[in-house]
Structure 1
Amino acid sequence: MKAVVMTAPGNPDVLQLRDLPLPSLGSRELLVKLKAAGVNPIDTKLRGRGTFFPDKMPAVLGCDGAGVVEEFGANVTKFRVGDEVYFCNGGLGGHQGNYAEYTTVDERFAARKPKYTSFAEAAAAPLVLITAWEALYERGRLSPNERVLIHAGAGGVGHVAIQLAKLKGASVCTTISSQEKARYTQELGADLAINYKQNDFVKAVLDWTNGEGVDVAFDTVGGETLQKCFPAVRVYGDVVTILEPDKNTIWKVARNRNLRISLELMLTPMLQGMIETQQHQAEILEQCATWIDEGKLKIDARHQYKLSEAAKAHDLLETGSITGKIILLTES
């Protein structure tokens, strides 16, 4: 099979298309002929600094995948040949990732692909859907009629976070960097789009909430953004970040406002081998597939490349501030 192999840590040029043998199939695993693979920031970080398993090089990156079951292990009960699936599995340097024509996935970690969406859109979805779901629904405990601030609403995680918040019955404000992105996020359901380059987003949030602040702030940017959002959150509110807090973060405002700070890393179950939690993440994808099929949730997979163009896809992602997701089409 063809696969994009990371030969060593470094720039995008270390991603090379090679021939690899088909992965071996475990008793509870599916052999999936991949149609598309998602490209996420974790991929570029691992490519640049090295994977979580440096002794297992070269590596195939890519956590997100979508494709068709071609074979299954003796103890598989949920899926059969021809079933269309999507999932977040592998790609961290241990289990093979999805920048390939084939991969294997434990049936417990796979979900049925949404019926009425493309493989590209399905492959764009798993990591960002699970991240936004866990951040808003589980870490932030978002409830109906609450108000939420979502940073970078036009991005991969942001664009699905807006939709999940609206499905919960919340009011949403989001930060964006252009009028085009303002229109885009409002089409997704955002009640207020704040151009952070032109406006103080904290003042805009406080004006929007009559001086109280939002119930939940979701930081998808990191750096100083985390600290800046503290005064925009109501007393006893929630702040969730998907980035490691900067060592220079000043926590005084957060402490004085009794904010609950949560960290979200949806990769933890995969890294820790937490089977039940990985099963729960597959259940999240099953529910989201239903919403996608009902037209309640949309995935933006506008940036599509061939498998052989993985380096170009990484180059684009590292420019920053793109709208939607980047996909590799694994079929030539």
Structure 2
Amino acid sequence: MLPTTMTVIEAKGAGGPEVLAPGTRPVPSPGPGEVLIAVEAAGINRPDVLQRQGLYPPPKGASDLLGLEVAGKVAALGEGIVRYKPGDLVCALVNGGGYAEYAVAPESATLPVPQGLSLTEAAALPETVFTVWHNVFERGGLKPGQWLLVHGGASGIGTTAIQMATALGAKVIVTVGSAGKARACEALGAVRAVNYREEDFVEAVRETTAGKGANVILDMVGGDYIERDLRAAADEGSIVQIAFLKGSKVEIDLMRLMMRRLTLTGSTLRAQSAEAKARMARAIEERIWPLVEGGKVKPVIDSTFALKDASAAHARIDDPDHVGKIVLVAR
């Protein structure tokens, strides 16, 4: 028997971690093609931080609650659900509402928890794996034997990209801000971790790749990094932008892009159609889930916090010293 109400985390306004506080809301009902998940754990991601700050409003029709990935047990089924039954262990990409004891997810973006993973680990997968798969492999077209440069290598996205790219036969260079983060990234398989406080990543990439450059660059920094990415990229390379920690308004020399036949692209995940996410989910289950179950890709968990302590969890993600994912535990 489902309860009628649940504990959620609400943003009482736009601002720092302190605006997040527990609240009570009705348990949602799944619509056609949706499953209701009794949330055991929910991952925290940079888009959550932007929404908390009032910079990333939820799309029309989505929950106003933060949280884009969850893991738990299927609690109820909407009309037309054929794959799952109550009690199944799943993880899901959601458009919002993850910071709660129950969340509704599209069946098409819901995946079985990989064998061998805890629900806490599984909650750290969907947003990150979907983002890396779509941007590095679909948009960037990374192939075995090629070089991938990842900025923010010790982040949840970065640690996942290192493992996925390495497991699929590519070679990875990352940028990080400390020696400790460099060691962590190299332990995950990065060929080289460049401390941007001490080295020029353009020179380091050229040196490591014997002057050829990176075939794909995953950039969440933006700002002056974009012009430098153009210099670090290999001929015919792709630069994929997924965030702008240093700003989105920049001046670049497009002549370099033309002369070396570079591609500058980017995307956000949340705004994409249900059909696009379903396509990604099918590819991820086929290509990435076996790597997870085989131990070649595993979420790196920095820390966990109780759901009621979401403000402390956001203080942690705001701390540049964290490595990997931060997860809320709801039960």
CA apart distance, 1:22: 0.8
* Pairing 1:263–2:266 present: yes
CA apart distance, 1:26: 1.4
Aligned residues: 322
Which stretch shifts more, 78-87 or 255-264? 255-264
Alignment of 1:11-90 (within 5 A): 11-49=16-54, 52-53=57-58, 59-90=64-95
Alignment partners' CA distance in 1, 2:58 and 2:195: 40
Q: Deviations over 1:229-256 (max 9, x none)?
A: 2111122211111125732231343333
Gaps of 5+ in 1: 92-96
Match of 1:134 in 2: 134
- Using the size of structure 2 for normalisation, the TM-score is 0.91
Gaps of 5+ in 2: 1-5
CA apart distance, 1:7: 2.8
Alignment of 1:152-301 (within 5 A): 152-243=152-243, 246-252=248-254, 253-269=256-272, 274-287=273-286, 288-301=288-301
Alignment partners' CA distance in 2, 1:197 and 1:204: 13
Q: Is the 8 A contact 2:62 2:95 kept in 1?
A: no
Alignment partners' CA distance in 2, 1:57 and 1:293: 31
Q: Is the 8 A contact 1:231 1:254 kept in 2?
A: no
Q: Deviations over 1:152-194 (max 9, x none)?
A: 2111101111111112211111112222222211121111111
Counterpart code for 2:154 = A
Q: Deviations over 1:277-327 (max 9, x none)?
A: 121132244243322111110101221101011111112212335210111
Q: Deviations over 1:110-156 (max 9, x none)?
A: 11111211111111111111111111111111111111211121111
Q: Is the 8 A contact 1:151 1:174 kept in 2?
A: yes
Match of 1:94 in 2: none
CA apart distance, 1:50: 5.5
Alignment partners' CA distance in 1, 2:219 and 2:13: 31
- Using the size of structure 1 for normalisation, the TM-score is 0.91
Counterpart code for 2:57 = F
Q: Is the 8 A contact 2:42 2:99 kept in 1?
A: yes
Counterpart code for 1:221 = V
Alignment partners' CA distance in 2, 1:321 and 1:17: 26
Alignment partners' CA distance in 2, 1:34 and 1:132: 24
Q: Is the 8 A contact 1:37 1:64 kept in 2?
A: yes
CA apart distance, 1:260: 0.7
Which stretch shifts more, 189-198 or 317-326? 317-326
CA apart distance, 1:203: 0.9
Counterpart code for 1:259 = L
Which stretch shifts more, 153-162 or 226-235? 226-235
Alignment partners' CA distance in 1, 2:174 and 2:36: 40
Q: Percent identity?
A: 33
Counterpart code for 1:114 = P
Q: Is the 8 A contact 2:167 2:291 kept in 1?
A: no
CA apart distance, 1:9: 2.2
Alignment partners' CA distance in 2, 1:210 and 1:36: 44
Match of 2:3 in 1: none
CA apart distance, 1:72: 1.2
